[in-house]
Amino acid sequence: MKHLLKFFLWCIFVLMNIFFFWGASFLIQNAYYELGIVFFVLLFLIDFFIFNPRAYPYRYIAPALALLFILVLYPIYFTVKVAFTNYGTGHYMPRQEAIERLLYDPNYTYIIEEDLDSNYKIFVIYDGINPTEDFIIVFNLDGKPFLAEKPTPIRRKGKEILLSESFLYPINSEYVQMNNRTYHLVPWTGELQDLKIITIEDKAYKAFYSPKDEFLQVNSPFFKSRIAQQYLYRADFVDQQGNRYALRISSAGEWHFAKIERLYRLGYDESFENGKIGLKMTIYNNKTGNKVTEKDGAFYDTNENGESVFLLGFIDYVGSKNFLRIVKDPKVSGPFLQIFLWTFLWALLSVVLSLAVGLPFALILNDKNVKGRNLYRTLLIIPWAIPVFISALVWRNGLLNESYGLINKFLLPLFGLNPIRWMNDAFWARVGVLLVNIWLTFPYMMTISLGALQGIPPELYEVAMIDGAGRFKRFTAITFPFIMAVIAPLLVSSFAFSFNNFTIIYLITAGGPPIPGSTTPTGYTDILISYVYKLAFEAGRGQDFGFASAISIMIFFLVGGISFLNFKFSGAFEEVGR
């Protein structure tokens, strides 16, 4: 039994090794070098832990380490890397992939024989009365009949198929031999429209669609949506001479087959570098013979007027451009400065004001003479207990809404005040989000203050009373300094948390109202982190992962600095290291 278990564990270990090794090689093959290296390092570490008896304690930590590597360290690295690139709208793929796309994507082909006399007929297998996606095609190209099977993918990017291919076999008789299979064409008269059925072994392909056959027009929607779009659009059909045919939409809006050729090909260019002659990979335009140029992380072709035409962007290293943009571009730096200052103000006010609300409650509830303090405390904690997104949505929708919200509809008219434009006025939007945040966090402040209050030795008060100190004096001289000494580190981490409190800002105002005249999506209540989110994920103005990452790094250093100092001064290092 024990041996069995051991064997089982070893099996798992071997499998894991294989997985990591395969994963790492696969990643490196696909140009994800960094992640591949992470995998290799992990593999090495795990093996080391297992085989070295002295590394026994590390075996326990391995899973945590793996998660840390993949989900924390790699993202940190990735963010730093992206911050120096132009990754974003128009620049989504690595250079290698961009080249592949230029070479294989059907968008980059051109038709070389426009008025080709072509006809085709699709045959599919039916499942009962429903057509399936299993089909073959019979062609008539320039009077010569061909048969082709369903195209098979030859170039993929993940699940996405870049290009599929299928071969055209000439039809000479009613039997066509193809890939060791024999297709029987019934009946074969040499004319496409007469052909009714094609059998192979026990399968039968029935005539399904042909552009010139009126009886089969019924199936046109299925053909277009399920066969043409999914299989034929990205497929080349190659005959024995190597000519390529592909389905294209003609100027009349009809799907027909045309003789095509790739627009781009790879070539090598001699270049002089350091006095040596080297070969440099270059892309040529087949049609015009022009060289494709590369500029600012994108490929450009030259048209007949000699103008550069944007082809395809790729991810390119841009140096510190993203960081410089924050300082140099006035349309970015102005709003950015506003956001930056507001983020600090927001975090500071959140902490100070919620402490100002929470502390008095703590003082009252700390009084042992107040009956039912536990009940009061529990009730007051409720705003903290409610999930933040629920509170935010409730406030946004029920209370702060400009036309139906309770505050505008019931509370303000009670005092004869005009409705407040919570969502559209910069000042009031800020007041609104602060209000909600104070409501959410004062119970936390109250709780930590209560904890701190309980640690104050009562003798201090007795002595102070003997010295004739009044109530207020006792508060300023004893209570407050004592509380602050205990909760100061918590306040700092609270500050750091508010600094990145995306949920409230995003759910209540979504950063709005927008700051006019900015080229990036900015709003008056935006804090840095919501700004990053908008830059990266709100596609309205195009995504800009590079710039978003640059700001992420700034946040990283700001928050990291604050927290590090906090750790250092609160003595958390010693406590943890114990």
Sites for another protein among residues 267-286 (CB under 8 A): none
447 binds another protein (CB under 8 A): yes
Rounded Cα–Cα distance for residues 397 and 404 (Å): 8
Q: What angle do CA 159, 165, 168 make, to 5 degrees?
A: 155
CB nearer to another protein: give 464 or 554.
554
Q: Which is nearer to another protein, 168 or 492 (CB)?
A: 492
CB of 115 to another protein, least distance (A): 37
Q: Which is nearer to another protein, 1 or 466 (CB)?
A: 1
**Contact positions with another protein (CB under 8 A) in 79-98:** 79, 82
* Residues between 356 and 375 that touch another protein (CB under 8 A): 361, 364, 367, 369-371
| Span of 102-110, 136-144, 229-237, 390-398 interacting with another protein by CB under 8 A | 390-398
Q: Which two tokens stand for residue 575?
A: 């406590």
Contact (Cβ atoms closer than 8 angstroms) between residue 96 and residue 31: yes
Closest among 362, 389, 387 to 377, alpha carbons compared: 362
Instruction: Give the residue carrying structure tokens 């705003």.
Output: 383
By CB under 8 A, how many residues form the interface with another protein?
99
| Least separation in angstroms between CB 348 and another protein | 16
Select 187 or 372, whichever has its Cβ closest to another protein.
Answer: 372
Which residues from 473-492 bind another protein, rule CB under 8 A? 486, 490
By beta-carbon proximity to another protein, the closer residue of 173 and 374 is: 374
Judged by CB under 8 A, which of 136, 163, 168, 548 binds another protein? 548
Of positions 71, 252, 281, 466, contacts another protein by CB under 8 A: 71
Name 246's bridge partners.
258
Phi and psi dihedrals of 191, rounded to 5?
-105, 140
> Rounded to the nearest whole angstrom, what is the least distance from the CB of residue 305 to another protein in the complex?
39
- Determine, following the binding rule CB under 8 A, whether residue 159 of this chain makes contact with another protein: yes
Q: Which helix (H) or strand (E) holds 440?
A: helix 426-454
In whole angstroms, the minimum distance from the beta carbon of 520 to another protein comes to: 15
Residue 450's DSSP bridge partners are none
Instruction: Please name the amino acid found at residue 563.
Output: S
Q: How many helices (H) and strands (E) does the chain have?
A: 20, 19
What is 184-201 written as a DSSP string?
Answer: EEES-SS-GGG--EEEET
Distance CA 96, CA 79 (A): 21
In whole angstroms, the minimum distance from the beta carbon of 55 to another protein comes to 8
Q: Smallest distance, Å, CB 362 to another protein?
A: 12
| Region near another protein per CB under 8 A, out of 40-48, 186-194, 322-330, 560-568 | 560-568
Interaction of residue 185 with another protein, rule CB under 8 A:
no
- Angstrom distance (rounded) from CA 298 to CA 176: 47
Residue 93: strand pairing partners: 314
Q: How far apart are the first and last CA of the chain?
A: 40
Half-sphere exposure of 526 (CA within 13 A, CB side): 24
Contact call for residue 527 and another protein (CB under 8 A): no
In the shown chain, the binding pattern of residues 31 to 70 toward another protein, with x for contact by CB under 8 A and - for none, equals -x--x-------------------xxxx-xx-xxx-xx-x
